A and B are shown apart, each in its own frame.
Chain A
Amino acid sequence: MTLATSPDASRARATGASLRLAILLFVADPQWLVPSTIAPIVFGLVSFELFRGEGPYFLTYAILGAGMMSMWGQTLYGSGWATGQDRQLGTLEPTIQAPTPYLYVVLGRIIWNVIAGLFGGVIVYLVVVIAAGGPPRLPNPLLFVVLFVFVMVTLASVGVVFAAAFVYSRYAGFIQNVGEFAFYIGTGCMFPVILLPFWTNPIALLFPPTWALDALRYVSIPGYSGFGWGWEWDLVGALAVTGVYAAIAGTVFSRVERHVLETGNLSDY
């Protein structure tokens, strides 16, 4: 007779196994990092050229924006694929049948996507820095690093919600490809959201990366004027929105599991 493992241990193990599998799949075919880095590298270099002569901190805009776009892209594409791969391979129902909630399986994949996005961000950083002839000045490198990690957490939260939504939608590919620039604009990847018309700002604030990016710019660009409340409140806002996202993801995934148990089919949608 074996001792029953606690639900928490089972969930952590499922997330760990899912993360491990995602890493192995990535190592087997790492070329898939290329598509998510090409666009940010090009956008970073184009922005650097457009900002040329405007001052030393504009390089930070270009690098932060391009790096963020790389991570965003990886999160967005990876999230769609996080559930899409189960659907395509026919493993969605069997995975959901397992005792561990599906959310924890998807979480492992999302965590890897965000980490892979960070690799992409590093590649983008190196290319733009080489093109610019040197790294940007950072007034507070430690705080920058802490906030950067936090940005990754906010991206992961968005990724989980997208993954949940994409279970129900056949428009994952559409949103990823056609909506790509809209996300870059809406979250202010390359420029402060306050440059956009005021009515768009509340919509932009629905996305955790908007808050996190604003905070990052506050600590890395002297004289930056973003949202008037400053980086500390940006952090609070990002935490709050991330919490809401986590709650939404949990609810949606519960619904997904109930739906599967009731109908026994999610592959047709």
Chain B
Amino acid sequence: MTAPSHDAYQPAFWRTFWTNAVLAPRTSLGFMRFDFVLGTVFIIPLTQMVFFAFVVQLGNGGAGEIAFTAVGNAVATVTYSSVFSVCQTTDSEKQQGTMEHLLVSPASRLALYLGRGLIPILISLATVTVGLLYATAFFGVSIPLATIPGLAVSVALTAFAMVGFGLLLGGVALYLRTSIILGNIFLFIGLLLSGVNFPVSALPLPLQYAGDALPLTWGLAAIRGAISGEALGPLSLLWGAVALSGLISVGLAMGLWGFFERRALATGSIARF
């Protein structure tokens, strides 16, 4: 008979990742009811694009401006599944009383949070894809077949970066009473700062810098670059920027969670609101 090991139990990385990927949509992620997902993928992109297309039309914008707005909003709707949904995980954990259990769990935090991001990344991919299909079908946007591979890479990187940003907001929300307000701010602020409806250069310089801090700005630039058939060199730079913004977001999220976890364990006051 062997002596019991005193090493802390450490669940396998991929097991934690997969368990969270499967369970999070049913437990902690917001906006994940089946009807909500369908609405996010099929209804919100269309209505948001129609709304801004008519605003552009009222402002005497031409077909070019409408196409620009359509692409921007097709991509911007990704925030519903990637940012608004993901940042609500913290609220859900607090409301359901599972935050304490999570904080004392030995599971890898990276696996845990990346796992939670898997389904939102897939929904984000679907949302942008459907949005771009609407853009080509109804708003006169031309997407040549040759640009599809580059576009696919841009969309995938954007979905990853945006979910990373959602995780970061979820980390900030750990310290807040609720994440809903944060989620609402970042759900829409990209429409103003990220070049969704007009070029970023039209903004005052401080706002341009603020826009640069958002992954949506870089993701949208990469997607617009891919659609316009930009060469691989400049496009790679944009991809690098999108990936970097995603990695920074995930890194900051992990750092924040680590910091607030230590505070929670020390004070016992963060797990509830």
A residues in contact (CB < 8 Å) with B: 31, 34-35, 38-39, 42-43, 45-47, 49-52, 54, 58, 61, 171, 173-174, 177-182, 184-185, 190-192, 195-196
Contact = CB atoms under 8 A, between A and B. Distances in A.
B47 A182 contact: yes
Interface of B: 31, 33, 35-36, 39-40, 43-44, 47-48, 50-52, 54-61, 177-178, 180-181, 184-185, 187-189, 191-192, 196-198, 202
B51 A50 contact: no
Contacts of A35: 180-181, 184
B203 to A, nearest CB: 8
A45 B192 contact: yes
Given A45-B192, A50-B56, A38 B36 contact: no
3 closest A-B pairs (Cβ-Cβ)? A178-B39, A181-B47, A35-B184
Contacts of A185: 47, 50-51, 54
A122 B36 CA distance: 31
B54 A190 contact: yes
B56 A196 contact: no
A42 B33 CA distance: 27
B257 to A, nearest CB: 23
Given A34-B181, A35-B181, A45-B192, A51 B39 contact: no
Contact of A38 (B58, B60, B185, B198): B185
B51 A178 contact: no
A50 B47 contact: no
A49 B207 CA distance: 14
B184 A178 contact: no
B226 to A, nearest CB: 24
Contact of B55 (A31, A177, A179, A191): A191
B47 A46 contact: no
B28 to A, nearest CB: 17
Given A35-B181, A174-B39, A181-B44, A51 B59 contact: yes
A138 to B, nearest CB: 19
A174 B39 CA distance: 8
Nearest to A46: B197
Given A49-B198, A181-B48, A174 B35 contact: yes
B31 to A, nearest CB: 7
A54 B59 contact: yes
Contacts of B58: 51, 61, 190-192, 195
Contacts of A191: 54-55, 57-58
Nearest to B47: A181
A47 B59 CA distance: 8
Contact of A178 (B36, B178, B189, B196): B36
B188 A50 contact: no
B59 A178 contact: no
Contact of B192 (A31, A46, A51, A184): A46
A54 B31 CA distance: 39
Contacts of B39: 174, 177-178
Given A42-B189, A178-B40, 7 more contacts: A31-B181, A52-B59, A171-B35, A179-B43, A182-B43, A184-B51, A195-B54
A66 to B, nearest CB: 11
A60 B177 CA distance: 36
A35 B35 CA distance: 22
A50 B198 contact: yes
Contacts of A179: 43
B267 to A, nearest CB: 23
A216 to B, nearest CB: 16
A61 B202 CA distance: 20
B60 A178 contact: no
A50 B55 contact: yes
Nearest to B58: A191
Contacts of A174: 33, 35-36, 39
15 contacts: A31-B177, A31-B178, A34-B181, A35-B180, A39-B188, A46-B196, A46-B198, A47-B55, A49-B202, A54-B60, A177-B36, A182-B47, A185-B47, A185-B51, A195-B57
Contacts of A43: 188, 191
A191 B51 CA distance: 9
Contacts of A171: 35
A178 B43 contact: yes
